[in-house]
Every structure is written in C-alpha cells, then in structure tokens.
C-alpha cells in the first residue's frame, strides 16, 4: 500500500538547500532510518517543487500511523530530528492538528479504468 503526504517548506533558498542536504545519504541519523523501517515503512521518497514537498511511503499492511507517531515521540533521536526538520517545514492549512505532514486522498488510479 502507498501513502502520500505533503507539506510546504519555508520560502528561503538557503533553508531549502540545507533541508535537502540533511536528506542526502549519510546525513539522516541511523536511528531515524531504523525507526522508519521498524514502523512498517518499506520505502519512502520525498519530492520537491518550489516549496512544496510530497512524500510517498510504501507501507506494510499492518502499518499504524498512530503507533509510529507515539514511538517517534518517545525516541529522543527521532524527536530531535523532527524538531530540527520542523524549522524548515510549514504545515498546510488542511494538516491534522499537531501534524506538519498532510495525508493526500487518492482520487485517480489508471488501474481502476478499463
């Protein structure tokens, strides 16, 4: 199953460049990557255009976003990463309370059409 989420970045070229640097291989802390994988996320990609980010996650059938949020909040390394990234991120108006990433609703799949 695939989940898609979105948010905006601060509209500042230097901040966006720094955000992208943090996401390069070797810059994301190993405990953060381990927590993502342990939650049932099998693959994750983030795309950017301008200040808009879109994240895709291929998730296991038993993925529980609430359990992941609770585990992330309890893990000091993940919490520190989230705080660091939060300096760059801006939630969309439709974001759930307390969340920066906003889930997107699927509205079209080519495979649904003959």
- Give the global pTM: 0.92
DSSP 24-86: STTTS-HHHHHHHHHTTEEEEEEEEETTEEEEEEEE-TT--HHHHHHHHHH-HHHHHHHHHHH
**Rounded average pLDDT over 7-30:** 98
Residue-wise pLDDT tens digits, 34-62: 999 999 999 999 999 999 999 999 999 99
Task: Please state, as a whole number, how many other Cβ atoms lie within 10 Å of the Cβ of residue 43.
Answer: 11
- CATH number 3.30.70.100 is the correct assignment for the domain at 2-105: yes
C-alpha distances out from residue 49 to 6, 46, 53, 55, 56, Å: 11, 10, 7, 12, 14
């Amino acid at each position: 199953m695939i989940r898609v989420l979105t948010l905006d970045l601060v509209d500042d070229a230097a901040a966006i460049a720094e955000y992208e640097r943090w996401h390069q291989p070797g810059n994301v802390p190993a405990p953060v990557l381990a927590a993502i994988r342990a939650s049932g996320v099998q693959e994750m990609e983030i795309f950017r255009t301008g200040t808009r980010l879109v994240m895709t996650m291929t998730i296991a059938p038993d993925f529980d976003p609430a359990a992941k949020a609770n585990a992330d909040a309890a893990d000091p390394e993940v919490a520190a990463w989230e705080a660091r990234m939060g300096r760059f991120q801006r939630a969309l108006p439709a974001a759930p309370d307390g969340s920066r990433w906003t889930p997107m609703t699927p509205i079209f799949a080519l495979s649904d059409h003959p």
